[in-house]
Structure 1
Amino acid sequence: MSNPHDDPGHRPPPPRQGEPQPSYPGGPPPPYQTDPHAYPGPPQQPGGPWQGPPPGHGMPPQQAVYAPRSREGKGFFATLFDVNFDHMLTVRLARTIYTLMTVLISLFALVVLWYGLSFLTWNTTLAVMTIIAAPLIWVFDLVVVRVFMEFVINQFKITEHLKAMRDREGLR
């Protein structure tokens, strides 16, 4: 073997005294004391032998408390014309949109039911199937709208939480 690195028995020479030791990328790992998510230790028991974590260990004395952003501040039209999209209009309108969709779906189901009742005079089978289908259509449509609205609101809540975390950590 001509290449010493191919030899499985070949080991690199030990570092010479005074030479810098190999380090971790980005420097040495942080010590345990500065870890904000360090395990605080077992719960304290009054009168027990354990009297708390050793100095320098455990949670930092003060943690930032999450405070959600207020949805107040800008009115409807100010939010509507906010070109930076800092304030969300959809969250404010979600309840109104869901109520409107519930009314429209209910009216549609009533129209289907009315047609089912009107079919009784000339086709009983079609009438029964339509009458049975009307409440099923109503429930299905409400579930679809509800799931969609929950998905949309969830996306906006994720955005709000990410903005709050960014503000708390001072990243912007």
Structure 2
Amino acid sequence: MSNPHDDPGHRPPPPRQGEPQPSYPGGPPPPPYQTDPHAYPGPPPQPGGPWQAPPPGHGAPPPPPGYAPRGRGNKGFFGTLFDVNFDHMLTVRLARTIYTLMTVLITMFALVVLWYGLSFFTWNPTLAVMTIVAAPLIWLFDLVVIRVFMEFVINQFKITEHLKAMREREGLR
């Protein structure tokens, strides 16, 4: 046969997310985990819908006896500073302050470089122009470097917090 859709044993590929389900001759389409090799190989859907509790023996195991999840309460600055288990992170709280302080210091440094550039006019005009042009470029470069570094640090802490939340939700800790 020249057309593969004329073959009665051939089924079209499963629809993409958001597309309407095509009607198949001979009954409803099979679940995607049986036909699509790239689909999530998880367990088949439970009868009755996702709002029902899973049957016994499925889902997260119950917590051990005497288990109490650690509170995620706010310990304050000094409580976090002296937390020897490092359960609460101080760097995340200080990130805005550190970034603001570094921005002020970088701006002051750029203004000093600009002032020196202006004072070089009597001694060497070429060096003065180069310094005046370099001052805002140095300011911008330093600000970008500090911003990227702070975003990297905060991202690492957010990854840690999300992993901790997942472990607590699954009862692993």
TM-score of the aligned structures, taking structure 1 as reference length? 0.63
Q: What is the rounded CA distance, in whole Å, between the counterparts of 1:159 and 1:119 in structure 2?
A: 50
Match of 2:45 in 1: 58
How many residues align structurally? 127
Match of 1:122 in 2: 123
Aligned 8 A contact 1:79 1:87 in 2: yes
Q: What is the rounded CA distance, in whole Å, between the counterparts of 2:99 and 2:108 in structure 1?
A: 14
Aligned 8 A contact 1:117 1:131 in 2: yes
The 4+ residue runs of structure 1 with deviation greater than 2 A are: 41-46, 48-53, 56-64, 69-72
Aligned 8 A contact 1:44 1:51 in 2: no
In structure 1, the gaps of 5 or more residues are: 1-40
SS in 1 for 2:45: coil
Sequence identity (%):
75
Cα root mean square deviation, aligned:
3.4
Aligned 8 A contact 1:44 1:52 in 2: no
Task: Answer yes or no: is 1:167 the counterpart of 2:168.
Answer: yes
Match of 1:11 in 2: none
Q: What is the rounded CA distance, in whole Å, between the counterparts of 1:121 and 1:95 in structure 2?
A: 41
Match of 1:16 in 2: none
Q: What is the rounded CA distance, in whole Å, between the counterparts of 2:71 and 2:141 in structure 1?
A: 35
- 1:81-104 Cα shifts (integer Å, max 9, x gaps): 101100000000000100000000
Letter in 1 for 2:50: P
In structure 2, the gaps of 5 or more residues are: 1-15, 32-42, 60-69
Match of 2:66 in 1: none
Q: What is the rounded CA distance, in whole Å, between the counterparts of 1:137 and 1:70 in structure 2?
A: 45
SS in 2 for 1:154: helix
Q: What is the rounded CA distance, in whole Å, between the counterparts of 2:143 and 2:71 in structure 1?
A: 30
